[in-house]
Amino acid sequence: MRVERARYFLAAVEAGSLRGAATRCGISQPALGQQIDLLEEELDVVLLTRGRLGVRPTQAGQDLLKPMARLVAAQDSLRWAAAESGGAYRGRVAIGAVPALAEMVIANVVGRLRVRHPDLRFTVTETSSAAIEAAVSAGDLDLGIATMPSTPPDTSIKRTVLFQAPIGAVVPLDHLLADRDSIRWSDLETWPIVTMREGTVMWERLQADISNPQVVVQAMSARSVKLMIAQGAGIGILTSFDTSSDVPGLRWIRLRDTPSVQICLVQRRDTQPSPSALTVRRLITERAAELLESAVSDR
């Protein structure tokens, strides 16, 4: 039995729907459903009850939840053990990240690599989410961490959701909107907008939710967006994790009529990562879990 099918089943139960599980696992919904069908054929049991409101495990599926979770955990332990074996950290890993995530996630990972695995060599490239996915698909990058676009992934890559971040507006403390607890896209229609450049997820969301937005700056990084806002260029559109205190005098206000941005790990679907890449991937997921825990504790 392919362990990946057990992962898909567990994801479906946790998400409560095939669509939600497919998003988490970074594959299409039909592909995930097909893999669960094959798992049911292999085990000769019906694992899920499907309905208009989603999916739920049958009694047989409920009975197999813990054994399958142990199976998945055993595979992960085996992979980590292989990665910890002699010579595992002498390879080279190419990592791609959008600028904000390079700052929040990859910089921390690089520090841990230097301390824990000094013989592992790596390169880090800052670029857009679309460019990261294209480079992973072409084999130029081993791993990428990006914001998830609305378009489905190329069939050669897999997206795995790490955490989510709400979208909001960034304004100076003396701005007319600064005392709001939350706002809507319609509140921004008459204001000049500072945002990330065309081709980014932020740009995609802005164009989808405001008709003919008054974009005055297309920036390359979240810091550039904040610097422009601080100088009075306009209102910024950024996710919550882009609101570090390196530019004082600004306030982030949540947009309540738009879904959060999903932060995902991007890797090739048809190749097994090297032990070194597995090591980097583990550190990325560790850092993502820390950020998620910190965000929850701050609420």
CA dihedral 39, 42, 45, 48 (to 10 degrees): 10
Topology (CATH level 3) of domain 167-255: D-Maltodextrin-Binding Protein; domain 2 (3.40.190)
Q: Report the distance separating Cα 172 and Cα 245, nearest Å.
A: 13
Topology (CATH level 3) of domain 3-84: Arc Repressor Mutant, subunit A (1.10.10)
253: helix, coil or strand? strand
- Does residue 195 come out as left (phi exceeding 0), alpha (psi in the -120 to 50 range) or beta? beta
pTM for this prediction:
0.67
Phi, psi of 218 (to 5 degrees): -110, 110
Average pLDDT along the chain = 87
**CATH superfamily, region 92-162+261-297:** Periplasmic binding protein-like II (3.40.190.10)
Which ranges in the chain are annotated with CATH 3.40.190.10? 92-162+261-297, 167-255
Which ranges in the chain are annotated with CATH 1.10.10.10? 3-84
Q: Residues 50-83: pLDDT tens digits?
A: 888 889 999 999 999 999 999 988 887 887 676 5
Phi, psi of 101 (to 5 degrees): -80, -25
Half-sphere exposure of 128 (CA within 13 A, CB side): 15
Phi, psi of 114 (to 5 degrees): -60, -35
The pLDDT value recorded for residue 116 is 81
Of 57-71, 235-249, 261-275, the range with the highest mean pLDDT is: 57-71
Average pLDDT over residues 237-242: 83
Q: Report the distance separating Cα 172 and Cα 168, nearest Å.
A: 13
